[in-house]
Amino acid sequence: MNYLSRTNEEQQLVRAQANIPFPWARSAIVCLASYHSAQPRSTDPAPPHAGWIARYAWSSRVLGDGKRIPSDYHKVLLKRLKSLESRLQEECGLFESRAYVDTGPVVERALATAAGLGWTGKNTCLIHPGLGSYVFLAVLLTSLQAAPGQASLTIPDRCGTCRRCLDACPTNALDAPYQMDATRCISYLTIEHRDAIDPGLMEGMGRQVFGCDICQDVCPWNRKAPIGADPELEPRPELVNPALEALAAMDEPAFERAFNGSPVRRAGFGGLRRNLAIAMGNSGERRFTACLRAWAAAADSGLRAAASWALEKLEGRPS
């Protein structure tokens, strides 16, 4: 995550303000799309052999022939931003612009807060007062001058005294309100972290095999949020509480077939197996020992360490 601290030639933090990497930027159009669905939450009861894939990564769309295929919100929303950009060019003439969906040196959450789309919650997520935090953000930076003298759009913080997200985080990544230690966050560990995971964090990772929804699933604002209805972001049923055995049985070609075009591919085949090994250890199910023994001899050091830890946990030996 070194990109977060990248500076320019003047030693300015690139992500501090949009006009540092883009001096021409005069306005930002911030868009929001809900991915909330009627499926269970990660905090709801589930079989011990079930893993958890973050809700946002379930996305899919149905082709004209009825076949359901994975979709990636980055591509879905970027296409929509590009369409908006083209329409604005037709109406306003040529102008400088850049479109980003979690892919550029802009802090979407801060821009969304300034645009009046919500407030930053104690779990560091943007919370929309009507849609909750199960939302994607997309930003179009432009050289168009915003109308002057507009009243503030800022929505006040409505978290109040609630601290459910902090109390629920199993790895203590939310070490203070509005503050996150990303190196302890399950989403970071299961997706971006490429090496062996600290054994001290593995038990807290529970059954999460890609991302984590816990701090959002316990948020009262998401209990009131309406179900989304975006045909390009519909959930894939097979990714809700997926069986650990089914995911573990995939070889690399099967992984590519299942997740090509899906955010889950970001973790990589080896990364997903490492995460599965940890979830197996936390399941308490000794039926996973044969698989874990095979993985404990793997060439990949992260998988090998995770499988060894899981075996020790299931077999009752000190880890």
Residues labelled as active-site residues: 102
DSSP 225: P
**Backbone φ and ψ of 271, nearest 5°:** -65, -40
Are residues 304 and 298 in contact, defined by beta-carbon separation less than 8 angstroms? yes
DSSP-derived 3-state class of residue 283: helix
DSSP 98: E
Q: Structure tokens of 279?
A: 């979830």
DSSP-assigned letters across all residues of 64-92: TTS-EEE--HHHHHHHHHHHHHHHHHHHH
Which residue reads 């109308």 in tokens? Answer: 147
Are residues 311 and 289 in contact, defined by beta-carbon separation less than 8 angstroms? yes
Are residues 261 and 293 in contact, defined by beta-carbon separation less than 8 angstroms? no
- Strands 27-34 and 234-235, by their bridges, are unpaired
Give the dihedral sign, CA 70/263/113/129. positive
Residues 183, 206: Cα–Cα separation, whole Å: 16
Residues 42, 153: Cα–Cα separation, whole Å: 33
For the CA atoms of the chain, what is the radius of gyration? Answer: 21
